[in-house]
Amino acid sequence: MDMAAQRVVRLLKKQTFTYEIRDCDRDFESTEDSIKLLSVPEEKIAKTLVFAAPIGASVIILSGDAKIDPGKYEKQFKVKRIVLDEEDLMEYTGCRPGAVSPIALPGKRAKVYMDVSLQRFMDEYVYTSGGTGNSAVGITARDLYEVTGCRQWIDISSGWRRGEDEE
């Protein structure tokens, strides 16, 4: 188990809420691949995207069926999206591309935000990276918000279904 996964497990073991850790036989290659390997619907994949911020990095967690809306992002953060290179990603998250877990990030320079697309699952498991390319943590959106030290809910996505009555 690498250091990022060890940090995730250590932090989760200190919690009182329930969660599950799933290890797959191989690394996830994409959101679509995660859906197949974990046998969960797209909207219950909690994608973690990391962008450069004026100081540090912004870690955004959003539903697997949502896409970042560039206009909403720029309005929220007052900067254009800049994807971190692999070296900076490792510095801010301790994880390699494709394995970034928003849980137990090292240091304080990466600020976590959750998109409103995940509010549909406050009491249902969503699956986020466990810190390795082949592990996932099943956790409610409510507990994910708490355990990541999330700063706030933000609305920077599009493309997802808000509810049965909304199209």
Look up residue 91 and give its amino acid: E
Q: Is residue 162 part of a domain?
A: no
Instruction: Please give the helix or strand (H or E) that residue 8 lies within, else none.
Output: helix 3-13
Q: What is the pLDDT of residue 107?
A: 77
Q: Tokens for 107?
A: 């240091």
Domain around 79: 3-151
Global pTM reads 0.92
Q: Is residue 164 part of a domain?
A: no
pLDDT band (50, 70, 90) for residue 1? low
The whole-angstrom separation of Cα 128 and Cα 35 is 11
Q: What is the pLDDT of residue 162?
A: 78
Closest residue by Cα to residue 137 from 104, 93, 101, 113: 101
Q: Is residue 142 part of a domain?
A: yes
- Domain count along the chain: 1
Asked whether residue 116 carries a pLDDT value surpassing 80, the answer given is yes
Residues 136-158 have pLDDT tens digits of 999 999 999 999 999 999 999 99
Closest residue by Cα to residue 28 from 126, 133, 146, 123: 133
**What's the rounded mean pLDDT across residues 105-118?**
92
Q: Is residue 147 part of a domain?
A: yes
Q: Is residue 89 part of a domain?
A: yes
Q: Is residue 62 part of a domain?
A: yes
- SS3 assignment, position 96: coil
Q: Is residue 48 part of a domain?
A: yes
The whole-angstrom separation of Cα 154 and Cα 143 is 17
Residues 8-60 have pLDDT tens digits of 999 999 999 999 999 999 999 888 899 999 999 999 999 999 999 988 899 99
Q: What is the pLDDT of residue 134?
A: 94
pLDDT band (50, 70, 90) for residue 98? confident
Query: Could you give the strand order of the β-sheet that contains 135-140, starting from the edge strand earlier in sequence?
Result: 20-23, 135-140, 125-129
Q: Is residue 157 part of a domain?
A: no
Instruction: Please give the helix or strand (H or E) that residue 140 lies within, else none.
Output: strand 135-140
Residues 125-136 have pLDDT tens digits of 999 999 999 999
